[in-house]
């Protein structure tokens, strides 16, 4: 069995890519379109093995036979020589077999447009970040995500005060009543995403949330065709800890919101118990652009489904200082020569 | 020609008057024709005057008389100052305190820089203090209070926004000359630190605003991943524990007395010099 999978156009045998705009596989050569059923009449033959397949030292493009350049975590890529979309099957098998996928909905062009308007607003971003060749580096990537379902039992307790005051002669009399408050409750959370890649910045990945789960579907490798994909390198137990921290915050906010009618509330103790934590491995779409500036990487990420953006850009000190001096000089000129009319 | 003769006659008359009253106690700056001050008092006042003269560059004279030769206190004080060679520097800066016992009036006459320093408001304040001692007949204290007032105001210098107001023509003459032409105004603006502060603040503000590039908007919250209707509040307890009462004094705001304006009213004396000053009965 071949370890590298390539989807080919049934009509002309060219490499097939998933097209986010029309949500079908479209041949770029003969313009034929295929949906999931048409592309794979014999579904059973494509089933991914449930057991891990041993990793190979190198993978070859099944189209031209060249070595595929791939990191340890790269699961879908393009052949450097013939540009055929290539999927490394071993990296979607066994414990790396995703349960769900949200297919790309945004085209690469839209993602570039989003980056362009986003970087335009960052006046002090280095000029290199704004050049077309840089913008063209935007890449569609299926990012590995852990989606957690869990039930939570939680309690918070603290002290709250009610304050009233009135005037008595030359004095203001302040009357404070202290209460001990306690709340406990249960709630259920569904599909809390935690990115499963060490490479991807957790903060930026959280800022492109939420994904709309109405488009979530069972995983099929075919969606990977035409995009990059990574497999997870953060184990689900580690991801679960990150998820729990987040949920603890939500739970506290939720319970705290039920403490009403006080002037001050101070939480002194809390406990959060997790039950029925279920993890599901899923591939979620992002467009990503990594720029280097003075030895540091700066990442821009677009949610490949909703178009929500996040990213960090460095500040070009020279641009910043020049701008400040410009404003200073302009203000000075206006104040001196304009102001002289009014003194 | 007649005018000149008149001036000569006047000088002769005054010098005659002074010499005829030679018995009266006098020093360079103190003319006590009524012997209200003891010689010790005069010595100590003269010493203070000498000190203030060199300290502030203002001449100071004190005259106590009951004969103003038919002149008003103002004219007598101005003429006494002008015709007896008082005044330092080219503006004849200095001031004279006249105690006119004829009509129980005091008058302060100012000249040169003293007009600038002693605005109408400051003269009034000085007169207030001096007059209170004169009413009690304490001439020595009145004089030394006068000198300490002069010392204090001269130390403060010309107040902000001071101008000489010519009571005859109504013209104002600012001590701090305001720029007139556009170029002068522009140069004044260039020198103003305010312009630099405003420009720097604006530059800093806009630059910081544009530098503050957020990484993205947080659009998830505590409810994003919570299953609808799954939240149940199991237990809710609010228990009263204790209460406390405290009281705070309400402070009433106190109003401060405002100072006077920067006007120094001036008039022209018989010698042609400009004088400021003021007086009152006691």
**Residues of A whose CB is below 8 A from B233:** 183-185, 255, 258
* pLDDT at A304 (0 to 100): 93
* pLDDT at B26 (0 to 100): 66
A304 with A196, same domain?
yes
- Domains parsed from chain B with CATH numbers: 26-159+273-281 (3.10.310.50)
* pLDDT at B17 (0 to 100): 57
Using CA atoms, how far residue B103 sits from B63, B66, B133, B141, B281, in Å, is 14, 8, 17, 20, 8
A157 with A83, same domain?
no
**Residue in B220, B227, B239 closest to A179 by CB:** B239
**Residues of B whose CB is below 8 A from A160:** 238
Residue A36 located in a structural domain: yes
A82 with A179, same domain?
no
Cβ of A220 under 8 Å from any chain B Cβ?
A: no
Is the pLDDT at A80 greater than 60, yes or no?
yes
**CB distance B246–A174 less than 8 Å?**
yes
Half-sphere exposure of A149 (CA within 13 A, CB side): 8
A161 with A74, same domain?
no
Portion of chain A with pLDDT greater than 90, in percent? 49
Quote the pTM value. 0.63
A155 with A281, same domain?
yes
A71 with A164, same domain?
no
Helices (H) and strands (E) in chain B, counts: 8, 10
A166 with A255, same domain?
yes
Residue A338 located in a structural domain: no
Residue A327 located in a structural domain: no
Is the pLDDT at A303 greater than 90, yes or no?
yes
Residue A324 located in a structural domain: no
The answer to which of A53-67, A255-269, B81-95, B252-266 has the lowest mean pLDDT is B252-266
Is the pLDDT at A44 greater than 60, yes or no?
no
Q: Which of the listed residues A95, A129, A160 is the one where a domain comes to its end?
A: A95
Residue A102 located in a structural domain: no
Pairing of strands B30-32, A296-303: unpaired
ipTM above 0.95, yes or no: no
Average pLDDT over residues A131-154: 92
* pLDDT at B22 (0 to 100): 44
* pLDDT at A49 (0 to 100): 67
The enclosing H or E element of B274 equals strand B274-281
**CB distance A207–B198 less than 8 Å?**
no
Pairing of strands B30-32, B59-65: parallel
A60 with A157, same domain?
no
Cβ of B200 under 8 Å from any chain A Cβ?
A: yes
A87 with A173, same domain?
no
Dihedral angle, C-alpha A304, A309, A310, A316, nearest 10 °: 120
**CB distance A340–B242 less than 8 Å?**
no
Tens-binned pLDDT, residue by residue, of chain B (282 aa): 677 777 777 676 666 555 544 445 567 889 998 888 888 889 999 999 999 999 999 999 999 999 888 889 999 999 999 999 898 888 899 999 999 998 999 999 999 999 999 999 999 999 988 988 888 888 999 999 999 999 999 998 888 888 888 888 888 888 877 667 788 888 888 888 888 999 999 999 999 988 887 788 888 888 889 988 889 898 899 999 999 998 888 765 443 333 456 888 888 888 888 888 888 888
**CB distance A171–B247 less than 8 Å?**
yes
Mean pLDDT of the residues in chain A: 88
Domain count, chain A: 2
Q: Which of the listed residues A26, A60, A95 is the one where a domain comes to its end?
A: A95
How far off is chain A from B236, nearest CA to CA, in Å? 5
Q: Taking a C-beta distance cutoff of 8 angstroms, is the pair A310, B216 a contact?
A: yes
How far off is chain A from B215, nearest CA to CA, in Å? 5
**Residue in B189, B222, B244 closest to A343 by CB:** B189
Nearest of B78, B146, B153 to residue B282 by alpha carbon: B146
How far off is chain B from A269, nearest CA to CA, in Å? 14
Average pLDDT over residues A253-275: 92
Eight-class DSSP state of A63: T
A175 with A87, same domain?
no
- pLDDT tens digits for range A82-120: 888 888 888 888 888 899 999 999 999 999 999 998 888
* B117-120 long-range contacts, CB within 8 A, separation 24+: B117/B58, B117/B153, B117/B154, B117/B156, B117/B157, B117/B158, B117/B159, B118/B153, B118/B264, B118/B276, B118/B277, B119/B159, B119/B162, B119/B260, B119/B261, B119/B262, B119/B263, B119/B264, B120/B260, B120/B261, B120/B263, B120/B264, B120/B265, B120/B278
Residue A238 located in a structural domain: yes
- pLDDT tens digits for range A162-210: 999 998 888 889 999 999 999 999 999 999 999 999 989 999 999 998 9
Q: How many CB pairs under 8 A join A and B?
A: 185
Q: Taking a C-beta distance cutoff of 8 angstroms, is the pair A283, A219 a contact?
A: yes
Please report the residues numbered 58 through 117 in chain B whose beta carbons come closer than 8 angstroms to any beta carbon of chain A: none
A20 with A153, same domain?
no
**CB distance A174–B249 less than 8 Å?**
no
**CB distance B190–A208 less than 8 Å?**
no
Q: Which domain holds residue A293?
A: 142-318
A304 with A160, same domain?
yes
Q: Which of A157, A212, A253, A335 to mutate to test the interface with B (most CBs of B within 10 A)?
A: A335
- pLDDT tens digits for range A223-240: 888 898 998 999 999 999
Is the pLDDT at A30 greater than 60, yes or no?
yes
**CB distance B211–A182 less than 8 Å?**
no
Residue A340 located in a structural domain: no
Return the residue of A nearest to B214 by Cα: A312
Q: Which of the listed residues A95, A130, A164 is the one where a domain comes to its end?
A: A95
């Amino acid at each position: 069995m071949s370890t590298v999978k390539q989807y080919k156009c049934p009509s002309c045998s060219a490499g097939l890519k998933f097209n986010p705009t029309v949500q079908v596989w479209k041949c770029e050569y003969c313009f034929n379109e295929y949906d999931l059923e048409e592309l794979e009449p014999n579904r059973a033959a494509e089933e991914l093995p449930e057991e891990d397949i041993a990793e190979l030292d190198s993978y070859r493009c099944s189209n031209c036979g060249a070595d595929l350049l791939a990191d340890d975590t790269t699961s879908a890529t393009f052949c450097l020589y013939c540009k055929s979309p290539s999927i490394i099957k071993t990296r979607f098998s066994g414990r790396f077999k995703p349960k769900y996928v949200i297919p790309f909905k945004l085209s690469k062009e839209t993602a570039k447009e989003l980056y362009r308007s986003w970087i335009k607003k960052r006046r002090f971003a280095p000029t290199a970040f704004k050049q077309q060749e840089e913008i063209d580096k935007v890449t569609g990537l299926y990012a590995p995500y852990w989606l957690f379902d869990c039930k939570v039992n939680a309690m918070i307790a603290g002290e709250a005060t009610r304050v009233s005051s009135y005037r008595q002669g030359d004095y203001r009399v302040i009357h404070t009543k202290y209460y001990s408050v306690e709340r406990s409750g249960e709630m259920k959370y569904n599909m809390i995403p935690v990115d499963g890649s060490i490479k991807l910045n957790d903060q930026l990945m959280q800022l492109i949330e939420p994904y709309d789960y109405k488009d979530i579907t069972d995983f099929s490798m075919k969606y990977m065709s035409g995009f990059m994909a990574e497999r997870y390198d953060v184990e689900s137990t580690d991801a679960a800890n990150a998820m729990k921290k987040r949920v603890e915050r939500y739970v506290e906010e939720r319970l705290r919101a039920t403490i009403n009618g006080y002037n001050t509330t101070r939480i002194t103790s809390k406990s959060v118990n997790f039950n029925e934590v279920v993890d599901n491995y899923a591939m979620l779409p992002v467009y990503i652009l990594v720029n280097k500036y003075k030895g540091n990487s700066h990442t821009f990420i677009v949610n490949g489904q909703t178009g929500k953006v996040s990213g960090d850009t460095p500040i070009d000190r020279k641009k910043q200082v020049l701008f400040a001096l410009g404003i200073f000089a302009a203000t000075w000129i206006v104040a001196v020569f304009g102001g002289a009319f009014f003194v | 020609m007649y005018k000149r003769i008149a001036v000569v006659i006047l000088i002769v008359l005054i010098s005659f008057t002074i010499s005829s009253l030679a018995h009266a106690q006098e020093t360079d700056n103190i003319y006590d024709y009524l012997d209200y001050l003891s010689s010790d008092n005069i010595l100590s006042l003269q010493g203070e005057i000498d000190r203030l003269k060199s300290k502030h560059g203002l001449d100071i004279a004190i005259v106590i008389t009951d004969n103003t030769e038919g002149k008003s206190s103002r004219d007598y004080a101005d003429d006494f100052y002008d015709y007896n060679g008082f005044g330092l520097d080219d503006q004849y800066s200095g001031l004279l305190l006249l105690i006119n016992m004829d009509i129980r009036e005091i008058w302060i006459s100012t000249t040169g820089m003293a007009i600038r320093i002693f605005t109408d408001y400051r003269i009034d304040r000085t007169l207030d203090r001096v007059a209170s001692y004169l009413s009690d007949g304490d001439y020595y204290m009145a004089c030394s209070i006068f000198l300490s007032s002069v010392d204090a105001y001269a130390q403060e210098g010309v107040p902000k926004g001071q101008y000489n107001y010519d009571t005859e023509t109504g013209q104002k003459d600012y001590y701090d000359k305001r720029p007139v032409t556009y170029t002068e105004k522009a140069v004044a603006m260039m020198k103003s630190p305010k312009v630099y502060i405003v420009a720097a603040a604006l530059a800093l503000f806009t630059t910081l605003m544009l530098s503050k590039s957020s990484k993205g908007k947080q659009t998830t919250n505590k409810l994003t991943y919570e299953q609808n209707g799954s939240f149940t509040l199991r237990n809710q307890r609010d228990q009263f524990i204790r209460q406390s009462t405290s009281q705070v004094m309400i402070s009433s705001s106190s109003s401060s007395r405002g100072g006077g304006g920067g006007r120094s009213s001036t008039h022209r004396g018989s010698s042609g010099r400009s004088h400021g000053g003021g007086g009152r009965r006691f």
